[in-house]
Amino acid sequence: MEIRELTCINCPLGCQLKVTMEGKEVVSVEGNTCRRGDTYARKEVTNPTRIVTSTVKVSGGKVPMINVKTQNDVPKDKIFECVRALKGVTIQAPVRIGDVVVANVAGTGVNIVAAGNVDAA
C-alpha cells in the first residue's frame, strides 16, 4: 500500500487529498469534500497531464517572440521534453494562431501550435 498526498485544484478550498494505492490501482481517496476532488485525485495519480506553454523565436516579424502551446494536454513527465524540443526553433512570420510549430512533440502525438498572431515586419 502506498499513500500519495495531493492538493485539490478544483476550487479555493484546496482539500488535502490522501490517495491510497495498491500498485497502480487506486484503493481509496480521502479528504475530498466533493466528487470533483475524487475525479481529480484518480486522474492525477494514474495519468497526470498538463497543457505546456512556451515561446519560440520569430524571424521577419513585427515582434521577436511568439507564444506556443501543446494543442492538447500531454503527460506531466513529458513537460521538460516538450520545452527542450523548442530550443533553437525559429519560425518565419507571418504566423497565425493554430499554425503547427512542432509536430508530434516528444513522441506524445500532440502538436505544438502557435498561440498568437505575428504579422510580417
Partner 1 sequence: MESYDLIIIGGGPAGLAAAVAARDNGIESILILERDKDLGGILNQCIHNGFGLHTFKEELTGPEYAARFIAQVKERGIEYKLNTMVMDISSDKVVTAMNRQEGMIMLQAKAVILAMGCRERSRGALNIPGYRPAGIYSAGTAQRLVNMEGFMPGREVVILGSGDIGLIMARRMTLEGAKVKVVAELMPYSGGLKRNIVQCLDDFGIPLKLSHTVIDIEGKNRVEAVTIAEVGPDRKPIPGTEERYTCDTLLLSCGLIPENELSRSAGVEISPITSGPVVNDSLETNIQGVFACGNVLHVHDLVDYVSQEASAAGRNAADYILHGHGENAKQVEILPQGGVRYTVPKYVRPEEMEDSLTVRFRVGDVYKNCAIATYFDDQLISRRKRPVMAPGEMEQVVLQKAKLAEYPDMKHITIKIEEA
Please give the residue ranges that form the binding site for partner 1 (CB under 8 A).
Answer: 6-9, 11-14, 33, 50-55, 57, 62-65, 67, 69, 76, 79-80, 83, 97, 115-117
Give me the helices (H) in 17-78, please: 35-46
Q: Which is nearer to partner 1, 51 or 100 (CB)?
A: 51
Specify the 3-state DSSP secondary structure of 83.
helix
The smaller minimum CB distance to partner 1, of residues 22 and 80, is found at: 80
d(CA 75, CA 63): 31
Smallest separation (angstroms) from partner 1 to the CB of 62: 8
Q: How far apart are CA 110 and CA 79, in angstroms?
A: 12
Output 48 or 107, the one with its CB closest to partner 1: 48
